[in-house]
A and B are shown apart, each in its own frame.
Chain A
Amino acid sequence: MIVLSFLRFCRGYVTFTAKGRFPERLLNLAAGRGINLWNPQPVAGGITGAMSVSDYKRVRPLARRSKCVLRIEKKRGVPFFLRRCRGRAGIPVGAVLGALLIVFLSQFIWSLRIVGADNLSETKVRECLAENGISVGIYKGDIDVDKIERDTLMQLDDIRWLSVNLLGCTADIEVSEKAKKPDIMSLQPCNIKAREDGVITSVKARGGFAEVKEGSGVVKGDLLVSGVKMSKLDTPQFVHADAEVMADIYSERELKIPCRYSYISISENKTERSRLKLFHREFPVSLSFFGCENAAYSEREQTLCLDDTLLPLSVRTETEYALAESTVSLNTEQAQQIFRNAELLYEVFERPAGAVKQRRLTVSEEDGAYVCHFSCVFNENIAEPVEFSVTEG
């Protein structure tokens, strides 16, 4: 029905009213001569209906024969529009060019939407898809959906399945990530051994048989809790040892910083350059040029978005930051502050589970550099399960 309405609109049609003595006869005569008349409706003293422009010329003599007076109510369609624009050729030409432009642009992918990549990097998926032949601005006729899905699945290990759906100019990429394997607690027979050297402060054995006591000194690899016990019948019993063995661990580190050093930093001096991007084509917007010898670059892209649909029009801005070299001379206080910060970072990131019981920091100056000696005592769990085979000799 929509196609029929569109065709009628293209050909042009009129809605008319026929009033007179025998409006039904007009319908019969028109039908007899093969004149297509649609939507006839009775009105007071006549009928209304619609017909194409060419048929309206043919129906006039029939109206006279049926003693009816025809009157056009509305004129609709392309021919009437063109007639109105007779003196202004630009309007129909522009309309045609606009229609052609829409047809042309609808042959390309305008935006790429990735759905379902919660833990997976969206950028990584986009890069992989671009390598396999689908990205913004690509011709839709060149897209082989099956091949893209197959190749992307082969390249990205974290994806269980992937579906490429082309909806108009938007490519919807539905991704399903692989479920992570759950941590299964092993119940294999095992011993608990020392992960580091230290002095035991407490032993809580939930499984197995403790081999050390509070106050015992242990070295890395020493047996703390055994998973083997001999029974009264002199047969070995194997169990899964599980324990929390807290120990004081002595840690010593040395750091060195030169008293005078130079470093490179980003200065205030920067230059911005913008480009207008339409599909893959870029057009310069600003006339600035980059000229620094040593510089750092950053890039940001703002894409035009209309009703949740990304359009293939964006502005890409590149910024060049000039790099400056600075020289710093440290005094003892500054060096101490730097060492203290470094030590705090070490405690937070390297030993997050350990509680600091004792901390000592000494700074000295040797050969044009500050040397720092750290000595710390951490209290932490040193239990490390080590599985063993019951068939071992």
Chain B
Amino acid sequence: MKKPSTALMPDLGSAPLLEMVGNRRVTVEGSTGILLYETSNIKINTARMVLSFEGRGLSVRCVSGSCVELSGFITKIEFLS
């Protein structure tokens, strides 16, 4: 059987995993820390990039070593590297 080309498959092992429920709740796995915590903007650091969530009434529901759960009305997500 022909093996798929490794050049087309980037290494996703250290990439953050995002799970969203509409635009009201998001869970980020693979976080290394919160960089900014405001009601309109939350920035979360991961191994490869910084995730920026903008919106209204944003809050952190739960923080653990590698997981952050946010809630609020999310209007924009940016991937900053």
A320 to B59, CA, bound (A): 75
- In residues 27-86 of chain A, which contact B (Cβ within 8 Å)? 27-28, 30-32, 34, 37-38, 40-42, 47
Contact B65 A32 (CB under 8 A): yes
Does B77 interact with chain A (Cβ within 8 Å)? no
Contact A31 B59 (CB under 8 A): no
Does A189 interact with chain B (Cβ within 8 Å)? no
A24: B residues at CB distance < 8 A: 33-37
Contact with A40, one of B38, B60, B65 (Cβ below 8 angstroms): B60
Contact with B37, one of A23, A30, A37, A38 (Cβ below 8 angstroms): A23
A31 to B62, CA, bound (A): 9
B59: A residues at CB distance < 8 A: 40-42
Q: Min CB distance, A225 to chain B, in Å?
A: 86
Does B64 interact with chain A (Cβ within 8 Å)? yes
A32: B residues at CB distance < 8 A: 65
A37 to B33, CA, bound (A): 14
Chief secondary structure at chain B's binding surface: strand
A23 to B35, CA, bound (A): 9
B36's nearest neighbour on chain A, judged by CB, is A24
Chain B interface, number of residues (Cβ within 8 angstroms): 13
- In residues 27-42 of chain B, which contact A (Cβ within 8 Å)? 33-39
B60's nearest neighbour on chain A, judged by CB, is A40
Contact with B63, one of A23, A25, A27, A41 (Cβ below 8 angstroms): A27
Q: Min CB distance, B65 to chain A, in Å?
A: 6
A40: B residues at CB distance < 8 A: 37, 59-60, 63
A30: B residues at CB distance < 8 A: 63
B63: A residues at CB distance < 8 A: 27-28, 30-31, 37, 40
Interface 1/0s, chain A 272-289, versus B by CB < 8 A?
Answer: 000000000000000000
Contact A31 B64 (CB under 8 A): yes
A13 to B64, CA, bound (A): 19
Contact A27 B37 (CB under 8 A): yes
Contact A47 B65 (CB under 8 A): no
B60: A residues at CB distance < 8 A: 27, 40
Contact A42 B39 (CB under 8 A): yes
Q: Which of A31, A34, A37, A41 has the most CB of B within 10 A?
A: A31
Contact A31 B65 (CB under 8 A): yes
- Besides A40-B37, A42-B37, 6 other A-B contacts (C-beta < 8 A): A27-B37, A28-B63, A30-B63, A31-B63, A31-B64, A42-B39
Interface residue ranges, A against B (CB under 8 Å): 23-25, 27-28, 30-32, 34, 37-38, 40-42, 47
